[in-house]
């Protein structure tokens, strides 16, 4: 039976399970480095190492590469600050291209090799020229992902009619 840890890439998102045969001392709140299909990422442990039945493993299980060091956390914070700058530039470039889209959020991966841009739009939008220009400006791979209004609310956070934090940002995961 494989030993796994549950991790999250962002707070209140889906919990993913990664193999942790070598890192049995990990605890909730620890940060780790993992390899995903999209590249290397920093994630937070939310479930301590535990065994699961082999039948529960769907596809190939990836492993935790290592515990995140202080340097890894500094790098993560550096890219998080650059995300705010990227957001302003992306919004400006979208206006220059006269695109009817709302840039909601920008996320760099751990290495800065990919910039994921979340946007919302009423209609289908051809943003290929925008992507080419952004790739030239940021010198990295650009990925744009269209999201709906509920996902937008989750990314931006806010207060519901009841006066409390939105459920999708405080406790709903799916």
Residues 6+ apart with CB under 8 A from 100: 121, 122, 123, 125
pLDDT, average across residues 143-152? 79
pLDDT, average across residues 138-150? 87
Instruction: For each of the domains in the chain, give its residue range(s) and CATH number, in order of start.
Output: 3-68 (no CATH), 80-167 (3.30.300.20)
Percent over 70 (pLDDT), the chain:
86
Statement: the pTM of the whole predicted model exceeds 0.85: no
């Amino acid at each position: 039976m494989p030993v796994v840890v549950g991790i999250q890439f962002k707070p209140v998102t889906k919990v993913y399970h990664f193999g942790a045969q070598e890192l049995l001392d990990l605890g909730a709140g620890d940060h780790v480095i993992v390899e995903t299909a999209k590249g290397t990422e920093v994630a937070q442990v939310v479930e301590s190492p535990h065994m699961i039945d082999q039948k529960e493993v769907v596809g190939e299980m990836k492993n935790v590469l290592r515990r995140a060091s202080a340097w890894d956390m500094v790098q993560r914070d550096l890219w998080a600050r650059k995300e705010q700058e990227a957001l302003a530039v992306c919004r400006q470039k979208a206006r220059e291209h006269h695109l009817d889209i709302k840039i909601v959020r920008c996320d760099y991966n751990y290495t800065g090799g990919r910039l994921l841009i979340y946007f919302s739009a009423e209609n289908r939008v051809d943003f290929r020229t925008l992507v080419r220009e952004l790739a030239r400006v940021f010198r990295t791979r650009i990925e744009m992902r269209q999201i709906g209004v509920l996902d937008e609310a989750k990314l931006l956070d806010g207060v519901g009619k009841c006066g409390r934090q939105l459920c999708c940002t405080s406790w709903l995961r799916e």
